[in-house]
Structures are given as C-alpha cells and as structure tokens.
C-alpha cells in the first residue's frame, strides 16, 4: 500500500510543473559576428540580471547559427539580429527587432511586459 502511495505522490510531483503557469522569458535571437548583439552585450547584458525586467522575464540567448530549440519552434526568430521576443507559456507576447540602444531598450521592454501581465519593470 505504501508503494502505491509513493508512486502516486511521484506522479503528482511530475505533473505539477506541467500544470503550473510558466513565467515569461526574454529570448534573444543572435548570430555570431552581429555588431548590434555585441553592443547589447556591452551596454545591457552586464546589468540586465539585476533589473525588475529580468525578474519578470529572464534573458535566454538562442543562436541562429544552430537549430532552434524544440520549445521555440512556434516562434519566428525573424531575419534581423538581435531580435528580442518575450515568450510566455510557449507563445509570443511581443518583440523588439534589432537593438535600439540603451536609452530605448528598457522602455520598449517595459511596454511589452506591462501588456503581458508579467509585471512592469522599472529600471
């Protein structure tokens, strides 16, 4: 009887992540040699992890020089790099095409996050 209870508990634990709502993430589609990706890396990447935006949508980098991960197969990365796509529960919420510079990046991202219900940043 205790084995059955342990098995049911294990199955319930495995089912929880599938039923829980996944948080948003900021997917950065990038390419080797992309000058604007390098500029993002110099201006935003060092501080992004410390921002409210990062808490609402952690940064995930995806190289367009490799096959797309299976969980992003429904997302069109576009032709330009970098392209930033806010993804929540497997679907696109909004995107920023190209890197608009440090003066505009957080404002654009905040608008997307506010519209997604993921919470607004405030950097």
Confidence of residue 123 (pLDDT cuts 50, 70, 90): very low
pLDDT at 8 over 70: no
CA-angle at 57, arms to 88 and 40, nearest 5°: 120
* pTM metric for this prediction: 0.77
Tokens for 56? 């609402």
Contacts of 25 (CB under 8 A, 6+ apart): 57, 58, 59, 60, 86, 87, 88
CA-CA distance, 17 to 101, in Å (whole number)? 36
Cross-strand partners of 63: 30
Question: What is the pLDDT averaged over residues 18-27?
Answer: 69
CA-CA distance, 113 to 109, in Å (whole number)? 6
Helix (H) or strand (E) holding 38: helix 35-43
The predicted pLDDT at position 2 comes to 56
Confidence of residue 1 (pLDDT cuts 50, 70, 90): low
Question: What is the pLDDT averaged over residues 3-27?
Answer: 55
pLDDT tens string 61-91: 999 999 999 999 999 999 999 999 999 998 9
């Amino acid at each position: 009887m205790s084995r059955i209870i342990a098995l049911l508990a294990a199955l319930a634990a495995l089912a929880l992540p599938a039923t829980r709502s996944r948080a948003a993430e900021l997917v950065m589609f990038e390419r080797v040699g992309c000058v604007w990706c390098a500029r993002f890396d110099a201006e935003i990447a060092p501080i992004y992890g410390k921002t409210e935006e990062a808490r609402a949508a952690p940064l995930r980098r995806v190289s367009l020089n490799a096959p797309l991960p299976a969980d992003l197969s429904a997302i069109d990365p576009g032709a330009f790099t970098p392209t930033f796509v806010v993804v929540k529960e497997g679907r696109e919420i909004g995107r920023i095409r190209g890197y608009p510079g440090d003066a505009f990046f957080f404002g654009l991202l905040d608008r997307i996050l506010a519209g997604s219900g993921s919470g607004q940043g405030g950097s």
